[in-house]
Amino acid sequence: MANPAAASVPMVTLSQIQSALVRVRKSIYISPCTRSETFSELTGNSIYLKLENRQRTGAYKERGALNKLLSLTAEERSQGVIAASAGNHAQAVAYHASNLGIRARIVMPLATPLIKVSATRGYGGDVVLHGANYDEAYEEALRLSAQEGLTFVHAFDDDAVIAGQGTLGLELLEQHPDLEVVIVPIGGGGLIGGIGCALKQTNPRIQVIGVQPARLPSVKVALSQGKPVTLPSAVTIADGIAVRRVGVRTLPLIQKYVDDIVTVEEEEIANAVLLLLEREKILAEGAGAAALAALVNRRIPMIHDSRAQESRTPEKAGKKVVAIVSGGNIDVTLLARIIERGLVKDGRLVRLRVHLPDYPGALHRLTGILAEHRANIVETSYDRAYHNVNLGDTAIDITMETRGPDHIAELISALGANGYTHERIL
């Protein structure tokens, strides 16, 4: 991915990241990086999860925000700082600025969920709601920065922020010196740029892989065109990495240090959130689960090469891989929808529409058949006017908990054998 143009932009160095680690270490939680037996068995590799969702504000963003704040002059501290964010960066800046006695103003879009606004205020931030989207909030933050003499703390395109995020890479080397592959979610590129520099400058053999949502592959597009490109807005459940344009300072780092970038679909991200919650008891937001989504959906050729799989032995199962779980700040209503969608995808929740005669006892007979096959009914809905229902008949939508696809097939077969007209609703 090397690009000659990258040399024209001074880049963050390993020594800057090492200095950042000394600076922030006493105030940043050393998050665990634990082996996952479940995902190791599933992928045929030795998988470790770096749990940045355990940070005080729920995401890795604290590293870069704190390093930037600690790098300010006495005059800059006295004037205060400002940032634009709708999520993790806002909370990180507010929390650490408050701890350092620095006034922090955070500009958030008008549509920011109340829970995120409340959390940012709770950490001590002076929240300003402005604009219909992040871009408008960002422009307002720049205007206020110039007007009031506040230092702007960029979410990713700032050397001090990048160096702070890079401390995660040095931490990984301390925890697992023999790691071979690191998989990192990418938004604006600050995290992967810092990690890539820290790892590659220490051990060039370590492979660094980036993951983006397929709906907003801003870095892949930038790499193909050799410059930052602004993509159209798109909605993704990985809102923490929903960045339309990669940073000017982060792109050269990605070009120099990142080995490959892959994309994942929305359903794959949602399923990864559910897998982490159910199998590992780890709560991750969409962006935080992106790395695992790439793993379990076999998006990374260097890990999932079929010939390598054949040569593995129980003593050495594949590569030693670290997936970064970058954050856990997920809205509970979104989490509920993800869980429900995941159960449907796994065949543990199904909805069938069954046509039956509309007379006393008809429903009792139907539910008896379902009970005989051990399906648990969680919701029903009648309809006599739609769905091509014959006069004197009714259609009933039945949502049931099941054991999986085989159980669903068993239920459908039993309904057919008993003369019921039915269809599966997806």
Mean pLDDT of 208-232: 96
Q: Does residue 158 form part of some domain?
A: no
Q: Does residue 410 form part of some domain?
A: yes
Final residue belonging to a domain, choices 149, 174, 200: 149
| Whether residue 232 is found in the same domain as residue 267 | yes
pLDDT band at residue 42, thresholds of 50, 70 and 90?
Answer: very high
Q: Does residue 157 form part of some domain?
A: no
Q: Which two tokens stand for residue 22?
A: 């000394």
| Whether residue 195 is found in the same domain as residue 275 | yes
| Whether residue 214 is found in the same domain as residue 268 | yes
Q: Percent of the chain scored above 90 by pLDDT? A: 80
Q: Does residue 74 form part of some domain?
A: no
Please write the tens of the pLDDT for every residue from 51-107: 999 999 999 999 999 999 999 999 999 999 999 998 899 999 999 999 999 999 999
| Whether residue 112 is found in the same domain as residue 145 | yes
Q: Does residue 64 form part of some domain?
A: no
| Number of C-beta neighbours around residue 376 at 10 A | 12
Please write the tens of the pLDDT for every residue from 364-386: 999 999 999 999 999 999 876 66
Final residue belonging to a domain, choices 119, 149, 179: 149
Please write the tens of the pLDDT for every residue from 157-166: 999 999 999 9
Output the domain CATH number for residue 357.
3.30.70.260
Mean pLDDT of 405-419: 95
| Whether residue 179 is found in the same domain as residue 235 | yes
Final residue belonging to a domain, choices 297, 314, 338: 338
Mean pLDDT, rounded, of the chain: 92
Q: How many domains does the chain have?
A: 3
Please give the distance of CA 167 from its chain centroid, rounded to a whole number.
20
| Whether residue 228 is found in the same domain as residue 366 | no
| Whether residue 189 is found in the same domain as residue 285 | yes
CA separation (Å) from 307 to 261, 278, 313? 22, 31, 13
In this structure, the strands spanning 46-51 and 33-35 are antiparallel
Give the pLDDT of residue 314. Answer: 44
Q: Percent of the chain scored above 70 by pLDDT? A: 92
Q: Is the pLDDT of residue 270 over 50?
A: yes
Q: Is the pLDDT of residue 3 over 80?
A: no
Output the domain CATH number for residue 107.
3.40.50.1100
| Whether residue 178 is found in the same domain as residue 260 | yes
Please write the tens of the pLDDT for every residue from 103-150: 999 999 998 888 889 999 999 999 999 998 888 999 999 999 999 999
Active site residues: 61, 326
All residues at 6 or more sequence positions from 253 whose CB lies less than 8 Å from its CB, including other chains: 11, 12, 162, 189, 192, 193, 194, 196, 197
Please answer whether residues 255 and 284 qualify as being in contact, where contact means their C-beta atoms are separated by less than 8 angstroms.
no
| Whether residue 188 is found in the same domain as residue 311 | yes
Give the pLDDT of residue 426. Answer: 76
User: Which structural domain, as residue segments, surrounds residue 390?
Assistant: 347-425
pLDDT band at residue 315, thresholds of 50, 70 and 90?
Answer: very low
Q: Which residue has the higher pLDDT, 384 or 3?
A: 384
| Whether residue 218 is found in the same domain as residue 312 | yes
Q: Does residue 16 form part of some domain?
A: yes
Give the pLDDT of residue 140. Answer: 97
Q: Does residue 178 form part of some domain?
A: yes
Please answer whether residues 16 and 85 qualify as being in contact, where contact means their C-beta atoms are separated by less than 8 angstroms.
no
Q: Does residue 298 form part of some domain?
A: yes
| Whether residue 198 is found in the same domain as residue 296 | yes
| Whether residue 145 is found in the same domain as residue 169 | no
Place of tokens 């990495």: 241
Q: Is the pLDDT of residue 354 over 90?
A: yes
Mean pLDDT of 270-279: 94
User: What is the spatial distance between Cα 228 and Cα 225, in angstroms, rounded to a whole number?
Assistant: 8
Please write the tens of the pLDDT for every residue from 246-257: 999 999 999 999
